[in-house]
């Protein structure tokens, strides 16, 4: 199966979303201004593939885009920097849904528009750059989830997929990549472009096993630790930048969590996280003792509550800009060998966030969107209210009303589109 990983969204082969990145790219940060298609395309060298290596390696020389059977980090800017005149000569022809604005170069993402862009904030002439790739080296899925952006340091933190070790008797490992962005200084349209990156591969401490999703938090990051066979290892961990992680929550009143997968921070300081049983299904966790829930944890008073039940595999979570709506993805899973060939539940649900007795509750569950292809494992919402999900065809984008706006299509994905 061809697997493709990208900064703005999907490990499309398994329908994963780099959890922190869409809010970064489309939320008005400097990262959204990344350069053109030839800027800062980098390839980690083969001799850096060892999980034990943690030295900085600097990449400067740009490369052309290779074929897509590897792990990569992309950066894009689909939202306009300014509104375009409706009468522009190069306005795309949108006579049919899904029309591409212009022919794409071979090996580059394609923006398919499903609604006219005139008077909106979508830019059909958006730019995208390939920052890092393992295409010519180890081809290991190093750039998989989390993708936490720390603007104060201009750094990205990305977790890998489960990496098989050389010993068949040990569990897989997950590595964290730290990517420092070096930008061009100066004024003008390209004055803030990324021109090179510095990449460091980090092995998480044994106290924080199998990190998955994460978010910027306090003076560092909070990671979802999927855990391992040892009790009390799955949970939320706060990792101050440059310091060891600290456990925030690892169980629900005496019972182990399953495999926390994604986390979202709200303005009141609370951490909302999903807890599917992916770890058990992947053989890294023992049989669950709790259903798959969505939780809210407040570090200030230690309050931990179940906010949503009844979902099969709650995986991704995000909030609207005013935090009045919560978006949660349910990815389901085959329950028997007979079910493996059947369509899976692939839904983004929306919930109203209400206050009752001074506490938040989620009500009015409703279908927000079902993707065109694949399973929406991750979901993000930008400051304008657009909702993004990593699906089987790339990144699908809806407005707050659930209307499909555009798809960032990733090339060479025919093998994945059967899911």
Does a structural domain hold residue 211?
yes
pLDDT of residue 171: 83
Cross-strand pairs, 10: 17
- Which residues of the chain are modeled with pLDDT < 50? 1-69, 81-103, 412-419
Q: How far apart are CA 213 and CA 314, in angstroms?
A: 13
Residue 186 lies in a domain: yes
pLDDT for residue 306: 98
d(CA 332, CA 273): 17
Tell whether 409 is covered by a domain: no
Number of structural domains in the chain? 1
- CA 218 to chain centroid: 20
| pLDDT tens, residue by residue, 34-89 | 233 333 334 444 333 333 333 323 332 223 333 334 567 777 666 654 333 333 33
CATH number, domain of 174, equals 2.120.10.30
In a domain, 319, yes or no: no
pTM for the complete prediction? 0.77
Per-residue pLDDT, 411: 61
Residue 338 has a pLDDT of: 59
Confidence (pLDDT) at 252 = 97
Domain that residue 220 falls in? 140-310
Burial (Cβ within 10 Å: 0-12, 13-18, ≥19) of residue 323: middle
């Amino acid at each position: 199966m061809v697997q493709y990983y990208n900064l703005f969204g999907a490990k499309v082969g398994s329908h994963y979303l780099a959890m922190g990145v869409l809010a970064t790219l489309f939320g008005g940060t400097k990262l959204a201004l990344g350069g053109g298609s030839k800027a800062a395309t980098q390839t980690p060298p083969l001799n850096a593939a060892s999980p034990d290596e943690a030295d900085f390696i600097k990449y400067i020389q740009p490369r052309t885009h290779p074929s897509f059977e590897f792990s990569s980090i992309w950066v894009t800017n689909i939202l306009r920097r300014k509104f375009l005149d409706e009468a522009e000569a190069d306005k795309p022809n949108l006579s049919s849904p899904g029309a591409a604005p212009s022919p794409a170069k071979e090996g580059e993402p394609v923006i398919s528009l499903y609604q006219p862009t005139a008077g909106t904030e979508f830019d059909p002439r958006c730019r995208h750059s390939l920052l890092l790739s393992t295409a010519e080296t180890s081809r290991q899925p190093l750039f998989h989830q989390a993708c936490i952006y720390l603007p104060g340091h201009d750094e990205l933190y990305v977790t890998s997929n489960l990496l098989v070790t050389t010993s068949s008797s040990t569990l897989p490992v997950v590595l964290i990549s730290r990517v420092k962005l070096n930008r061009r200084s100066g004024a003008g349209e390209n004055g803030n472009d990324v021109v090179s990156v510095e990449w460091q591969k980090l092995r998480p401490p044994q106290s924080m096993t199998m990190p998955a999703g994460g978010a910027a938090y306090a003076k560092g990051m909070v990671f979802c630790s999927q855990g391992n066979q040892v009790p009390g290892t799955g949970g939320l961990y706060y990792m101050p930048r440059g310091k060891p992680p600290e456990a925030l929550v690892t169980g629900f009143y005496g019972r182990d969590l399953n495999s926390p997968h994604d986390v979202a921070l709200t303005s009141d300081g609370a951490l909302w996280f999903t807890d599917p049983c992916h770890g058990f299904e992947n053989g890294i966790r023992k049989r669950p003792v709790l259903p798959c829930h969505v939780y809210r944890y407040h570090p200030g008073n230690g309050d931990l509550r179940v906010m949503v039940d009844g979902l099969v595999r709650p995986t991704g979570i995000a909030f609207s800009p005013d935090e009045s709506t919560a978006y949660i993805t349910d990815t389901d899973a085959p329950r028997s060998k007979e079910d493996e060939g059947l369509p899976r539940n692939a839904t983004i649900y929306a919930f109203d966030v209400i206050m009752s007795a001074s506490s938040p509750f989620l009500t009015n569950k409703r279908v927000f969107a079902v993707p065109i292809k694949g399973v929406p494992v991750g979901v993000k919402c930008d400051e304008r209210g657009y909702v993004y999900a990593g699906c089987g065809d790339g990144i699908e984008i809806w407005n707050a009303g659930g209307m499909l706006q555009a798809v960032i299509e990733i090339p060479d994905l025919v093998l994945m589109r059967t899911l």
